[in-house]
Amino acid sequence: MSQEWIALIASLSGVVVGFLLSVGYQAITARLEIRRLKKALRGELRSIKFQVGQKEDVLRKMIAELGNGNILPGETVPIPDDVYSSGIYKLLPHLTAKQRNCLHVIYGHLRVADRRTADFEIAVRRDLRDARLQYIEAAPQKDEVTLVGLGPTEVLRHHKGQLGDLLENYGTVVGLIESYLKDDPIDVFYTEKGGFEASKTEPEDRMKEGA
Protein backbone atom coordinates (compact mmCIF):
# COMPACT_ATOMS: atom_id res chain seq x y z
CA MET A 1 0.00 0.00 0.00
CA SER A 2 1.43 3.34 -1.02
CA GLN A 3 2.23 6.06 1.42
CA GLU A 4 -0.50 8.21 -0.17
CA TRP A 5 -3.16 5.62 0.64
CA ILE A 6 -1.91 5.20 4.17
CA ALA A 7 -1.99 8.95 4.69
CA LEU A 8 -5.50 9.15 3.22
CA ILE A 9 -6.80 6.32 5.43
CA ALA A 10 -5.17 7.86 8.47
CA SER A 11 -6.72 11.20 7.63
CA LEU A 12 -10.20 9.70 7.11
CA SER A 13 -9.84 7.67 10.30
CA GLY A 14 -9.02 10.84 12.18
CA VAL A 15 -12.10 12.54 10.78
CA VAL A 16 -14.33 9.59 11.70
CA VAL A 17 -12.87 9.33 15.18
CA GLY A 18 -13.21 13.07 15.66
CA PHE A 19 -16.84 12.94 14.50
CA LEU A 20 -17.66 10.04 16.83
CA LEU A 21 -15.99 11.79 19.75
CA SER A 22 -17.94 14.96 18.98
CA VAL A 23 -21.25 13.06 18.78
CA GLY A 24 -20.44 11.19 21.97
CA TYR A 25 -19.52 14.41 23.75
CA GLN A 26 -22.75 16.07 22.64
CA ALA A 27 -24.78 13.05 23.75
CA ILE A 28 -23.12 13.04 27.16
CA THR A 29 -23.54 16.82 27.51
CA ALA A 30 -27.23 16.58 26.59
CA ARG A 31 -27.73 13.74 29.06
CA LEU A 32 -26.05 15.72 31.83
CA GLU A 33 -28.18 18.77 30.98
CA ILE A 34 -31.39 16.75 31.26
CA ARG A 35 -30.21 15.31 34.57
CA ARG A 36 -29.43 18.82 35.81
CA LEU A 37 -32.85 20.12 34.75
CA LYS A 38 -34.66 17.22 36.41
CA LYS A 39 -32.77 17.86 39.65
CA ALA A 40 -33.47 21.59 39.47
CA LEU A 41 -37.16 20.94 38.80
CA ARG A 42 -37.43 18.69 41.84
CA GLY A 43 -35.77 21.39 43.91
CA GLU A 44 -38.24 23.95 42.58
CA LEU A 45 -41.17 21.68 43.47
CA ARG A 46 -39.86 21.26 47.02
CA SER A 47 -39.63 25.04 47.38
CA ILE A 48 -43.17 25.40 46.03
CA LYS A 49 -44.48 22.86 48.51
CA PHE A 50 -43.21 24.93 51.43
CA GLN A 51 -44.42 28.19 49.90
CA VAL A 52 -47.88 26.74 49.37
CA GLY A 53 -48.09 26.25 53.13
CA GLN A 54 -47.51 29.97 53.59
CA LYS A 55 -50.12 30.82 50.99
CA GLU A 56 -52.61 28.55 52.74
CA ASP A 57 -52.04 30.50 55.97
CA VAL A 58 -52.73 33.77 54.11
CA LEU A 59 -55.92 32.33 52.63
CA ARG A 60 -57.16 31.19 56.04
CA LYS A 61 -56.63 34.71 57.40
CA MET A 62 -58.44 36.19 54.41
CA ILE A 63 -61.38 33.82 54.93
CA ALA A 64 -61.55 34.59 58.64
CA GLU A 65 -61.47 38.35 58.07
CA LEU A 66 -64.01 38.14 55.28
CA GLY A 67 -66.34 36.43 57.73
CA ASN A 68 -65.99 39.55 59.89
CA GLY A 69 -66.70 41.83 56.95
CA ASN A 70 -63.06 42.83 56.41
CA ILE A 71 -61.22 42.57 53.11
CA LEU A 72 -57.56 41.60 53.25
CA PRO A 73 -55.38 41.97 50.14
CA GLY A 74 -54.38 38.60 48.74
CA GLU A 75 -51.23 39.42 46.78
CA THR A 76 -48.23 37.37 47.90
CA VAL A 77 -44.83 36.44 46.48
CA PRO A 78 -45.53 34.56 43.22
CA ILE A 79 -44.83 30.85 43.05
CA PRO A 80 -41.41 30.18 41.44
CA ASP A 81 -41.64 28.59 38.02
CA ASP A 82 -38.34 29.54 36.39
CA VAL A 83 -37.09 25.98 35.97
CA TYR A 84 -40.40 24.67 34.65
CA SER A 85 -40.98 27.58 32.28
CA SER A 86 -37.48 27.57 30.81
CA GLY A 87 -36.76 23.85 30.83
CA ILE A 88 -40.00 21.99 30.21
CA TYR A 89 -39.58 21.83 26.42
CA LYS A 90 -36.16 20.19 26.79
CA LEU A 91 -37.54 17.81 29.42
CA LEU A 92 -40.70 16.75 27.59
CA PRO A 93 -39.13 13.88 25.60
CA HIS A 94 -37.60 12.54 28.81
CA LEU A 95 -40.78 12.54 30.92
CA THR A 96 -43.60 10.03 31.01
CA ALA A 97 -47.12 11.11 30.10
CA LYS A 98 -48.11 11.00 33.77
CA GLN A 99 -45.16 13.19 34.74
CA ARG A 100 -45.93 15.74 32.02
CA ASN A 101 -49.62 15.90 32.90
CA CYS A 102 -48.93 16.10 36.62
CA LEU A 103 -46.54 19.03 36.16
CA HIS A 104 -48.99 20.76 33.83
CA VAL A 105 -51.76 20.60 36.43
CA ILE A 106 -49.46 21.63 39.30
CA TYR A 107 -48.19 24.77 37.64
CA GLY A 108 -51.55 25.55 36.04
CA HIS A 109 -53.34 25.48 39.40
CA LEU A 110 -50.65 27.62 41.00
CA ARG A 111 -50.72 30.29 38.29
CA VAL A 112 -54.50 30.55 38.50
CA ALA A 113 -54.36 30.77 42.30
CA ASP A 114 -51.72 33.52 42.22
CA ARG A 115 -53.75 35.51 39.72
CA ARG A 116 -57.02 35.15 41.62
CA THR A 117 -55.57 36.03 45.01
CA ALA A 118 -53.69 39.02 43.56
CA ASP A 119 -56.97 40.34 42.08
CA PHE A 120 -59.03 39.39 45.13
CA GLU A 121 -59.35 42.77 46.85
CA ILE A 122 -60.22 44.62 43.64
CA ALA A 123 -62.75 41.93 42.66
CA VAL A 124 -64.52 42.01 46.03
CA ARG A 125 -64.77 45.80 46.14
CA ARG A 126 -66.02 45.87 42.56
CA ASP A 127 -68.67 43.26 43.29
CA LEU A 128 -69.72 45.07 46.45
CA ARG A 129 -70.16 48.28 44.48
CA ASP A 130 -72.11 46.54 41.73
CA ALA A 131 -74.32 44.70 44.25
CA ARG A 132 -75.10 47.95 46.04
CA LEU A 133 -76.12 49.62 42.80
CA GLN A 134 -78.21 46.64 41.70
CA TYR A 135 -80.08 46.52 44.99
CA ILE A 136 -80.79 50.23 44.88
CA GLU A 137 -82.04 50.02 41.29
CA ALA A 138 -84.14 46.93 42.00
CA ALA A 139 -85.93 48.46 44.98
CA PRO A 140 -85.57 52.24 44.96
CA GLN A 141 -88.40 52.63 47.45
CA LYS A 142 -86.43 50.84 50.20
CA ASP A 143 -84.00 52.42 52.58
CA GLU A 144 -80.51 52.54 51.05
CA VAL A 145 -78.77 51.50 54.27
CA THR A 146 -80.86 48.34 54.46
CA LEU A 147 -80.06 47.51 50.85
CA VAL A 148 -76.36 47.97 51.36
CA GLY A 149 -76.57 45.63 54.35
CA LEU A 150 -78.20 42.91 52.25
CA GLY A 151 -76.14 43.02 49.06
CA PRO A 152 -72.63 42.79 50.54
CA THR A 153 -73.58 39.81 52.65
CA GLU A 154 -74.15 37.66 49.58
CA VAL A 155 -71.08 39.07 47.85
CA LEU A 156 -68.82 38.31 50.80
CA ARG A 157 -70.28 34.82 51.14
CA HIS A 158 -69.60 34.18 47.45
CA HIS A 159 -65.97 35.30 47.65
CA LYS A 160 -65.47 33.42 50.89
CA GLY A 161 -66.54 30.26 49.06
CA GLN A 162 -64.08 31.00 46.26
CA LEU A 163 -61.26 31.35 48.76
CA GLY A 164 -62.29 28.02 50.24
CA ASP A 165 -62.04 26.46 46.77
CA LEU A 166 -58.52 27.89 46.35
CA LEU A 167 -57.53 26.49 49.72
CA GLU A 168 -58.78 23.07 48.67
CA ASN A 169 -56.90 23.34 45.37
CA TYR A 170 -53.69 24.06 47.26
CA GLY A 171 -54.17 20.81 49.13
CA THR A 172 -54.58 19.00 45.83
CA VAL A 173 -51.41 20.62 44.47
CA VAL A 174 -49.40 19.51 47.50
CA GLY A 175 -50.60 15.95 46.93
CA LEU A 176 -49.56 16.13 43.28
CA ILE A 177 -46.14 17.50 44.16
CA GLU A 178 -45.56 14.76 46.72
CA SER A 179 -46.55 12.09 44.22
CA TYR A 180 -44.15 13.53 41.62
CA LEU A 181 -41.26 13.70 44.09
CA LYS A 182 -41.90 10.05 45.00
CA ASP A 183 -41.55 9.14 41.31
CA ASP A 184 -45.16 7.95 41.35
CA PRO A 185 -47.05 10.89 39.80
CA ILE A 186 -50.81 10.86 40.07
CA ASP A 187 -52.46 10.08 36.74
CA VAL A 188 -54.38 13.37 36.65
CA PHE A 189 -55.94 12.73 33.24
CA TYR A 190 -56.46 8.99 33.83
CA THR A 191 -54.34 8.11 30.79
CA GLU A 192 -53.70 4.60 32.06
CA LYS A 193 -57.42 3.97 32.51
CA GLY A 194 -58.46 5.12 29.06
CA GLY A 195 -59.45 8.66 29.99
CA PHE A 196 -61.74 10.36 32.49
CA GLU A 197 -64.96 8.61 31.45
CA ALA A 198 -63.40 5.18 31.83
CA SER A 199 -62.01 6.13 35.23
CA LYS A 200 -65.50 6.69 36.64
CA THR A 201 -65.87 2.95 37.04
CA GLU A 202 -62.79 2.76 39.24
CA PRO A 203 -63.43 2.88 42.99
CA GLU A 204 -60.07 4.44 43.80
CA ASP A 205 -59.59 8.17 43.24
CA ARG A 206 -55.95 9.05 43.69
CA MET A 207 -56.56 12.72 43.10
CA LYS A 208 -58.53 12.85 46.34
CA GLU A 209 -55.97 10.74 48.13
CA GLY A 210 -53.25 13.14 47.04
CA ALA A 211 -55.23 16.08 48.37
Residue 194 CB-density burial (10 A; 0-12 exposed, 13-18 middle, 19+ buried) = exposed
pLDDT at residue 207 greater than cutoff 80: no
Residue 32 included in any domain: no
Q: What is the pLDDT, as a whole number, of residue 13?
A: 62
Q: Is 22 part of a structural domain of the chain?
A: no
Residue 9: inside a domain: no
Whether residue 17 is contained in a domain is answered as no
Task: Give the residue numbers spanning the domain of 119.
Answer: 44-210
In a domain, 143, yes or no: yes
**pLDDT 10s digits, 161-195:** 999 999 999 999 999 999 999 999 999 999 877 66
Is the predicted pLDDT of residue 149 greater than 60, yes or no?
no
The mean pLDDT value for 77-82 works out to 93
**pTM (2 d.p.):** 0.77
User: Does residue 18 lie in a domain region?
Assistant: no
Residue 64 belongs to some domain of the structure:
yes
Measure the CA–CA gap between 195 and 202, rounded to whole angstroms: 11
| Residue 46 vs residue 195, higher pLDDT | 46
Q: In angstroms, rounded to a whole number, what is the distance separating the alpha carbons of residues 173 and 108?
A: 10
